[in-house]
Amino acid sequence: MRVVVIGLDCAAPDLIFGKLKEYLPNLTSMTEDGIYGRLRSTDPPITVPAWMVMTTGRTPGELGLYGFRSRVGNSYNKIKIPMSTDIKFDTVWDILGKRNKKSIIIAVPPSYPPKPLPGLMVSDFLTPDRDKEFTYPPGLKREILRDFPDYQFDVKFRKPEKEKILQEIFNMTDTRFRMAEKFLDEKEWDFFFMVEIGIDRVHHAFWRYIDETSHLYEDNKEMRDKFIGYFQMVDDHVGRIVSKLDDDTVVLVVSDHGAKAMKGAFAINQWLIKEGYLKIKNDSIKEGSSLEEVDVDWSNSKAWAWGGYYARIFLNIKGREEQGIIEKENVREEINKLKSKLIGIRGPDGEEWKTRVFEPEEVYEEVNGDRSDLFVYLDDLNWRAAGTIGYKTDYLLENDTGPDDAVHDYDGIYIIYRKGKKIGKRIDSSIYRVAPTILELYRVRKRYGIKGEPMEGLYLVE
């Protein structure tokens, strides 16, 4: 038995199983013959940590990984981008490697710098550039750049050139799949896991052409066709991969989180300033300034926030932060007060929001690493958070940085498919079941501290 995992970053159930279904013959026939459903992501539903949860079976709390940045020490503005070396638990391919299984691992975040394994690894979109050592073994890099000279880790988003970017994303995805298909043909492997990040980039930048409910919706046939064309290309590659496999191979198509229309960005630090939590010394603040660009009066500030698809709030605690002012014994009271204020935030027209606020300890049994004091899902993630300040309003209908069409949603997708099996069942599942499912398919029964269970109905494909 072999397992092939095709990760489609951000693939959303409403598109793959719904709106785009008729355009995706391969994925659709896999759902008709296999098991499929919604895959509940991690909290927070963010690319990093979600893929590592999928590949280690550990929670973000255990991994100490809560997003695209971690705070260095208890500093106010020193941040660190997660690297492969920050992952202190075995991934499924590490476990399989110990059992003499060879793996092909492509672009699973975070995998830079690539770690040695029996098999080969190409690092992910957090790789700085192609000059770096982005493969294991190192010699593989030369082979990739010879055969796929246009190989890209990611795209950089530039607003005025949107159409050109769609073409760039298309080429990036197409090239990565062609490389993966070549490896499947030519390399020796027992396990395969690839992640394609392009789907996420297409959603964030072009969602307005596919979702009539979005306030940014544009009825633009050409762009809508291009959006669909991108997914047809992905579907075509999935079909090509599946056609290479025998009936002793199980295919898993998964995504780390879903997507939905972004309603706007809420300037969270600006709100903290208004509520008296954050003090800035500058007399005037340029629109869109980050906290690093202004003079923060830390010794008079109680809290500050990071933006992104969810907000992280840090309290300025005496003895923890350099200029902390909240006494340790008052932390609980301050947290409770701030929580209820955050939950009470209303929308731009005074409408009620379904904001969710929690402390890491409320969602994870174990909390490691540099976690924030609060996680905030503004209006149930419909509004993203902007960390920048200096705006006339707290409600920005366009994003402060980057693309502004889509935010993350809790549910991604999964499909389990094996040639020759006719199952056709929908069973919604959880991201915590992915690693146990892979290990179960290889009959690895030792738990390695992983708490999740294999997916329901797995016996049907075995």
Partner 1 sequence: MADEKKYTTVSIPTPLFEKIQNKIKDTGFTSVSDYVTFVLREILAHGSSDEAFNEEDEKKVKDRLRSLGYLD
List the one residue from 23, 83, 347, 460 that touches partner 1 (CB under 8 A).
83
Smallest CA-to-CA distance from 63 within 85, 45, 78 is with: 85
Contact 398, 267 (CB under 8 A): no
List the one residue from 51, 112, 177, 375 that touches partner 1 (CB under 8 A).
112
Smallest CA-to-CA distance from 107 within 139, 144, 146 is with: 144
Binding track, positions 382-421, relative to partner 1; x by CB under 8 A: --x-xxx----------xxxxxx-----------------
Q: Which is nearer to partner 1, 201 or 263 (CB)?
A: 201
- Rounded-to-integer distance, Cα 24 and Cα 236, Å: 8
C-alpha distances (whole Å) from 15 to each of 20, 53, 262, 309, 328 are 5, 24, 16, 20, 48
Q: Which is nearer to partner 1, 201 or 208 (CB)?
A: 201
For 435, the token pair is 């690693």
**Residue 136 in the binding site for partner 1 (CB under 8 A):** yes
CB of 457: closest distance to partner 1 in angstroms? 35
Q: What are phi and psi of 119, to 5 degrees?
A: 130, -145
Q: What are phi and psi of 225, to 5 degrees?
A: -65, -35
- Non-local (6+) Cβ contacts of 205 within 8 A are 157, 162, 165, 166, 169, 403, 405
Contact 418, 404 (CB under 8 A): no
Contact 374, 312 (CB under 8 A): yes
Please choose, out of 108-116, 186-194, 218-226, 357-365, the segment that lies near partner 1 by the rule CB under 8 A: 108-116
Q: How many residues bind partner 1 (CB under 8 A)?
A: 41
- Rounded-to-integer distance, Cα 364 and Cα 63, Å: 11
CB of 43: closest distance to partner 1 in angstroms? 17
Contact 384, 407 (CB under 8 A): yes
Q: Which is nearer to partner 1, 102 or 320 (CB)?
A: 102
Q: H or E segment at 376?
A: strand 374-377
Give 435-460 as a DSSP string.
HHHHHHHTT----TT----PPTTGGG
Q: Which is nearer to partner 1, 37 or 308 (CB)?
A: 308
Binding track, positions 144-183, relative to partner 1; x by CB under 8 A: ----------x-xxx-------------------------
**Residue 114 in the binding site for partner 1 (CB under 8 A):** yes
Q: Which is nearer to partner 1, 34 or 387 (CB)?
A: 387
List the one residue from 101, 176, 201, 263 that touches partner 1 (CB under 8 A).
201
Contact 365, 383 (CB under 8 A): no
Q: Which is nearer to partner 1, 282 or 401 (CB)?
A: 401
Q: Which is nearer to partner 1, 181 or 370 (CB)?
A: 370
Q: Which is nearer to partner 1, 101 or 204 (CB)?
A: 204
Q: Is residue 333 classed as helix, strand or coil in its secondary structure?
A: helix
C-alpha distances (whole Å) from 414 to each of 16, 182, 222, 363 are 10, 24, 29, 23
CB of 244: closest distance to partner 1 in angstroms? 29
Please choose, out of 5-13, 21-29, 33-41, 131-139, the segment that lies near partner 1 by the rule CB under 8 A: 131-139
**Residue 369 in the binding site for partner 1 (CB under 8 A):** no
List the one residue from 2, 69, 178, 320 that touches partner 1 (CB under 8 A).
69
Binding track, positions 230-269, relative to partner 1; x by CB under 8 A: ----------------------------------------
Q: Which is nearer to partner 1, 165 or 439 (CB)?
A: 165
Give 202-236 as a DSSP string.
HHHHHGGGT-TTSTT----HHHHHHHHHHHHHHHH
Contact 345, 266 (CB under 8 A): yes
CB of 226: closest distance to partner 1 in angstroms? 19
Contact 46, 381 (CB under 8 A): no
**Residue 129 in the binding site for partner 1 (CB under 8 A):** yes
Cα torsion 277, 278, 283, 288: sign: negative
Scan residues 271-310 and list those touching partner 1 (CB under 8 A): 290, 306-309
CB of 318: closest distance to partner 1 in angstroms? 28
Please choose, out of 23-31, 96-104, 121-129, 206-214, the segment that lies near partner 1 by the rule CB under 8 A: 121-129
Binding track, positions 48-67, relative to partner 1; x by CB under 8 A: -------------------x
Query: How is residue 91 annotated by DSSP?
Result: -
**The residue type at 51:** W
CB of 132: closest distance to partner 1 in angstroms? 7
**Residue 132 in the binding site for partner 1 (CB under 8 A):** yes
**The residue type at 28:** T
Q: Where along the sequence are the contacts to partner 1 (CB under 8 A)?
A: 67-69, 79, 81, 83, 85, 112-114, 125-129, 132-133, 136-138, 154, 156-158, 201, 204, 290, 306-309, 384, 386-388, 399-404
